[in-house]
Amino acid sequence: MKFFLDTAEIKEIRELAASGLVDGITTNPSLVMKSGRQFVDVVREICEIIPGPVSAEVISTEHETMLAEGRKLAKIAGNVVVKVPLTPDGLKTCYKLSQEGTKVNVTLCFSAAQALLAAKSGATYISPFVGRLDDIGTDGMQLIRDIVQIYRAYDNLKTEVLVASVRHPIHVIEAAKMGAHVATLPPSVLKQMFNHPLTDKGLAAFLADWAKTGQKIL
Protein backbone atom coordinates (compact mmCIF):
# COMPACT_ATOMS: atom_id res chain seq x y z
CA MET A 1 0.00 0.00 0.00
CA LYS A 2 1.19 3.51 -0.83
CA PHE A 3 0.99 6.27 1.76
CA PHE A 4 0.13 9.81 0.73
CA LEU A 5 0.15 12.69 3.22
CA ASP A 6 -3.02 14.77 3.32
CA THR A 7 -1.54 18.16 4.11
CA ALA A 8 -0.15 21.37 2.66
CA GLU A 9 2.21 22.05 5.56
CA ILE A 10 5.73 22.11 4.13
CA LYS A 11 7.49 21.47 7.45
CA GLU A 12 5.49 18.29 8.10
CA ILE A 13 6.01 17.09 4.54
CA ARG A 14 9.79 17.52 4.80
CA GLU A 15 9.91 15.80 8.19
CA LEU A 16 7.95 12.71 7.17
CA ALA A 17 9.42 12.51 3.66
CA ALA A 18 12.84 12.02 5.28
CA SER A 19 11.54 8.74 6.73
CA GLY A 20 10.99 7.26 3.28
CA LEU A 21 7.36 6.52 4.14
CA VAL A 22 5.69 9.15 1.94
CA ASP A 23 4.80 8.16 -1.63
CA GLY A 24 2.75 11.24 -2.52
CA ILE A 25 0.68 14.18 -1.29
CA THR A 26 -2.96 15.19 -1.47
CA THR A 27 -4.06 18.78 -0.96
CA ASN A 28 -7.36 20.63 -1.15
CA PRO A 29 -8.47 24.27 -0.85
CA SER A 30 -9.10 23.91 2.90
CA LEU A 31 -5.60 22.56 3.57
CA VAL A 32 -3.96 25.29 1.48
CA MET A 33 -6.03 27.94 3.29
CA LYS A 34 -4.61 26.70 6.61
CA SER A 35 -1.08 27.17 5.26
CA GLY A 36 -1.77 30.88 4.64
CA ARG A 37 0.19 30.84 1.37
CA GLN A 38 -0.51 31.18 -2.34
CA PHE A 39 -1.91 27.96 -3.78
CA VAL A 40 0.37 27.62 -6.80
CA ASP A 41 3.46 28.40 -4.72
CA VAL A 42 2.56 25.71 -2.19
CA VAL A 43 1.96 23.07 -4.87
CA ARG A 44 5.20 23.90 -6.65
CA GLU A 45 7.23 23.61 -3.45
CA ILE A 46 5.60 20.32 -2.50
CA CYS A 47 6.39 18.93 -5.95
CA GLU A 48 10.05 19.82 -5.43
CA ILE A 49 10.12 17.88 -2.14
CA ILE A 50 8.06 14.84 -3.15
CA PRO A 51 8.85 13.09 -6.46
CA GLY A 52 5.62 11.09 -6.29
CA PRO A 53 2.07 12.20 -7.16
CA VAL A 54 0.88 15.54 -5.75
CA SER A 55 -2.86 16.13 -6.02
CA ALA A 56 -3.89 19.74 -6.62
CA GLU A 57 -7.60 20.54 -6.78
CA VAL A 58 -9.50 22.71 -9.23
CA ILE A 59 -11.83 25.33 -7.80
CA SER A 60 -14.40 25.79 -10.56
CA THR A 61 -17.55 23.69 -10.78
CA GLU A 62 -18.17 24.18 -14.53
CA HIS A 63 -16.46 21.98 -17.10
CA GLU A 64 -14.79 24.56 -19.32
CA THR A 65 -13.28 26.54 -16.45
CA MET A 66 -12.43 23.34 -14.59
CA LEU A 67 -10.59 22.07 -17.66
CA ALA A 68 -8.63 25.31 -18.00
CA GLU A 69 -7.70 25.21 -14.31
CA GLY A 70 -6.68 21.57 -14.59
CA ARG A 71 -4.42 22.27 -17.54
CA LYS A 72 -2.79 25.14 -15.67
CA LEU A 73 -2.21 23.02 -12.57
CA ALA A 74 -0.73 20.21 -14.64
CA LYS A 75 1.93 22.61 -15.94
CA ILE A 76 3.25 23.38 -12.44
CA ALA A 77 5.26 20.15 -12.37
CA GLY A 78 5.36 16.76 -14.01
CA ASN A 79 4.12 14.98 -10.88
CA VAL A 80 0.94 17.05 -10.40
CA VAL A 81 -2.28 15.05 -10.34
CA VAL A 82 -5.32 17.21 -11.06
CA LYS A 83 -8.07 16.72 -8.50
CA VAL A 84 -11.69 17.13 -9.61
CA PRO A 85 -14.99 16.60 -7.78
CA LEU A 86 -17.27 13.66 -8.54
CA THR A 87 -19.90 15.61 -10.45
CA PRO A 88 -21.03 15.35 -14.09
CA ASP A 89 -18.79 18.29 -15.00
CA GLY A 90 -15.98 16.87 -12.93
CA LEU A 91 -16.10 13.51 -14.70
CA LYS A 92 -16.32 15.21 -18.08
CA THR A 93 -13.17 17.12 -17.15
CA CYS A 94 -11.56 13.94 -15.88
CA TYR A 95 -12.17 12.23 -19.21
CA LYS A 96 -10.75 15.13 -21.22
CA LEU A 97 -7.65 15.55 -19.05
CA SER A 98 -7.02 11.81 -19.00
CA GLN A 99 -7.23 11.72 -22.80
CA GLU A 100 -4.56 14.44 -22.83
CA GLY A 101 -2.27 12.35 -20.63
CA THR A 102 -2.86 14.16 -17.35
CA LYS A 103 -3.37 12.07 -14.22
CA VAL A 104 -6.62 12.80 -12.40
CA ASN A 105 -7.79 12.17 -8.83
CA VAL A 106 -11.59 12.16 -8.56
CA THR A 107 -12.54 13.23 -5.06
CA LEU A 108 -15.61 13.34 -2.81
CA CYS A 109 -16.70 9.79 -3.63
CA PHE A 110 -19.37 8.34 -1.34
CA SER A 111 -20.78 5.39 -3.29
CA ALA A 112 -19.61 2.43 -5.36
CA ALA A 113 -21.76 3.66 -8.26
CA GLN A 114 -19.82 6.94 -8.27
CA ALA A 115 -16.54 5.04 -8.17
CA LEU A 116 -17.53 2.98 -11.20
CA LEU A 117 -18.37 6.15 -13.15
CA ALA A 118 -15.01 7.70 -12.22
CA ALA A 119 -13.11 4.62 -13.41
CA LYS A 120 -14.95 4.66 -16.74
CA SER A 121 -14.07 8.35 -17.07
CA GLY A 122 -10.37 7.48 -16.92
CA ALA A 123 -9.57 8.51 -13.34
CA THR A 124 -6.09 7.63 -12.14
CA TYR A 125 -7.33 7.64 -8.54
CA ILE A 126 -10.73 7.53 -6.87
CA SER A 127 -10.94 9.08 -3.39
CA PRO A 128 -13.71 7.56 -1.25
CA PHE A 129 -14.15 9.46 2.03
CA VAL A 130 -14.47 6.81 4.74
CA GLY A 131 -14.39 9.07 7.80
CA ARG A 132 -17.19 11.29 6.59
CA LEU A 133 -19.38 8.24 5.98
CA ASP A 134 -18.62 6.99 9.48
CA ASP A 135 -19.67 10.40 10.80
CA ILE A 136 -23.22 9.92 9.49
CA GLY A 137 -23.56 6.36 10.79
CA THR A 138 -22.57 4.57 7.57
CA ASP A 139 -19.79 1.97 7.34
CA GLY A 140 -17.11 3.79 5.37
CA MET A 141 -14.90 0.71 5.09
CA GLN A 142 -17.71 -1.23 3.40
CA LEU A 143 -17.48 1.29 0.58
CA ILE A 144 -13.77 0.51 0.15
CA ARG A 145 -14.56 -3.22 0.11
CA ASP A 146 -17.21 -2.70 -2.60
CA ILE A 147 -15.03 -0.53 -4.82
CA VAL A 148 -12.05 -2.88 -4.63
CA GLN A 149 -14.28 -5.83 -5.50
CA ILE A 150 -15.78 -4.05 -8.51
CA TYR A 151 -12.45 -2.84 -9.87
CA ARG A 152 -10.87 -6.28 -9.52
CA ALA A 153 -13.66 -7.80 -11.63
CA TYR A 154 -12.62 -5.83 -14.73
CA ASP A 155 -9.09 -5.85 -16.09
CA ASN A 156 -9.74 -2.73 -18.15
CA LEU A 157 -10.38 -0.60 -15.04
CA LYS A 158 -6.99 0.75 -13.99
CA THR A 159 -8.14 3.32 -11.42
CA GLU A 160 -6.43 3.04 -8.03
CA VAL A 161 -8.45 3.21 -4.80
CA LEU A 162 -7.13 6.11 -2.71
CA VAL A 163 -8.70 5.88 0.74
CA ALA A 164 -9.39 9.41 2.03
CA SER A 165 -10.86 11.05 5.13
CA VAL A 166 -8.80 8.65 7.22
CA ARG A 167 -9.31 9.26 10.93
CA HIS A 168 -7.16 6.63 12.65
CA PRO A 169 -4.75 3.73 12.01
CA ILE A 170 -7.58 1.16 11.99
CA HIS A 171 -8.90 2.73 8.79
CA VAL A 172 -5.46 2.25 7.24
CA ILE A 173 -5.06 -1.38 8.32
CA GLU A 174 -8.56 -2.37 7.24
CA ALA A 175 -8.08 -0.70 3.85
CA ALA A 176 -4.74 -2.46 3.38
CA LYS A 177 -6.35 -5.83 4.19
CA MET A 178 -8.98 -5.14 1.53
CA GLY A 179 -6.34 -4.40 -1.08
CA ALA A 180 -6.80 -0.64 -1.49
CA HIS A 181 -3.88 0.82 -3.40
CA VAL A 182 -3.33 4.06 -1.45
CA ALA A 183 -4.27 5.68 1.85
CA THR A 184 -3.92 9.42 2.24
CA LEU A 185 -3.27 10.26 5.87
CA PRO A 186 -3.13 13.38 7.99
CA PRO A 187 0.41 13.54 9.44
CA SER A 188 -1.04 12.91 12.91
CA VAL A 189 -2.46 9.54 11.83
CA LEU A 190 0.78 8.44 10.20
CA LYS A 191 2.63 9.29 13.42
CA GLN A 192 0.09 7.28 15.45
CA MET A 193 1.04 4.21 13.43
CA PHE A 194 4.50 4.22 15.02
CA ASN A 195 3.09 3.88 18.52
CA HIS A 196 2.65 0.75 20.64
CA PRO A 197 3.05 0.58 24.44
CA LEU A 198 5.04 -2.67 24.21
CA THR A 199 7.54 -1.03 21.87
CA ASP A 200 8.03 1.79 24.39
CA LYS A 201 8.29 -0.67 27.28
CA GLY A 202 10.76 -2.89 25.46
CA LEU A 203 12.97 0.00 24.41
CA ALA A 204 13.04 1.37 27.96
CA ALA A 205 14.14 -2.07 29.26
CA PHE A 206 16.89 -2.40 26.63
CA LEU A 207 18.23 1.07 27.40
CA ALA A 208 18.19 0.42 31.14
CA ASP A 209 20.15 -2.82 30.71
CA TRP A 210 22.62 -1.13 28.37
CA ALA A 211 23.22 1.69 30.85
CA LYS A 212 24.22 -0.89 33.47
CA THR A 213 27.04 -2.13 31.23
CA GLY A 214 28.71 1.30 31.21
CA GLN A 215 29.58 0.84 27.54
CA LYS A 216 29.28 3.19 24.53
CA ILE A 217 29.08 2.56 20.80
CA LEU A 218 30.33 6.03 19.85
Q: Tens digits of per-residue pLDDT, 104-119?
A: 999 999 999 999 999 9
pLDDT computed for residue 205 by the predictor: 96
Report the chain's mean pLDDT, rounded to a whole number: 96
pLDDT computed for residue 28 by the predictor: 81
Q: Please determine, looking at this structure, whether the domain spanning 2-213 carries the CATH number 3.40.50.150.
A: no
Q: 103 φ, ψ to 5°?
A: -75, 140
Q: What is the DSSP letter of 129?
A: B
Question: How sure is the predictor about 129, in pLDDT bands with cuts at 50, 70 and 90?
Answer: very high
What residues are labeled active site?
83
Question: What type of residue sits at position 11?
Answer: K
The predicted model scores a pTM of: 0.93
Q: 26 φ, ψ to 5°?
A: -120, 140
Question: Residue 126 region, left (φ>0) first, then alpha (ψ -120 to 50), else beta?
Answer: beta
Residues 35-44 pLDDT 10s: 778 899 999 9
Q: What is the DSSP letter of 181?
A: S
**CA 160, CA 142: separation in Å to the nearest integer?**
17
